[in-house]
Amino acid sequence: MTESAFIHRFEPARDAGSAPLLLLHGTGGDENDLLGLGKMISPGAALLSPRGRVLEHGMPRFFRRLAEGVFDEDDVRRRARELGDFVGEARQRYGIAAPVAVGFSNGANIAAALLLLQPGVLAGAILLRAMVPLSDPPKAELGGKPVLLLSGQADPIVPASNSARLATLLSEAGARVDHRVLPAGHQLSQADVTLARDWIGNVAVEAA
């Protein structure tokens, strides 16, 4: 697979000390959607933002689903492999370190799948309104990778039990999970931005 298989945007780092961000949009978004969020969360970080290659009624996604909240898990696995290949090739092309994924909704779900299926691809992840991506994930070894999981208390799409299960799944795989439930629905709030910015600042301090 060639890197050009993903339409994407790349913005080089203005602060060499910041971890690169892999920005993964929600259903119907594109490679431009989360650039502003990335800049708010980590000003100066390199930004790598691919467009999902699956279309649902003309709306880009990162993998197919059979119904709301019901994923085509074979497709999840295949698309996670493709995305992992893309990240590896983009790292070589742009000279960046392993990125921290910032995913919203469908993008957060593919990021969670990437953590479980290819633990070496990401340095960590900020998962915004994520669900468990695989009913029977492989045994992953995440070796203390930092993960921030931000869920909405009134989210009509992601049941609280599902996001709690994802937090447990990632913790049991060895990730350092910080799971917060916010007084919000499925859409992002200012609290998401503030918490993500503070979290990535602390993670950067720990890594330095």
Residue 133 near residue 163 (C-beta atoms within 8 A): no
Residue 157 near residue 69 (C-beta atoms within 8 A): yes
pLDDT for 169-183, tens place per residue?
A: 999 999 999 999 999
Q: Give residue limits of the domains in the chain.
A: 3-207
pLDDT confidence of residue 161: 96
pLDDT confidence of residue 207: 63
Catalytic residue positions, numbered: 105, 155, 186
3-class SS letters over 29-81: CCCCCCHHHHHHHCCCCCEEEECCCEEECCEEECCCEEECCEECHHHHHHHHH
* Low-confidence stretches of the chain (pLDDT beneath 70): 1-4, 204-208
pLDDT confidence of residue 86: 97
Instruction: Report the alpha-carbon distance of residue 112 to residue 114 in Å, rounded.
Output: 5
pLDDT confidence of residue 2: 47
pLDDT confidence of residue 18: 93
Fold of 3-207: Rossmann fold (3.40.50)
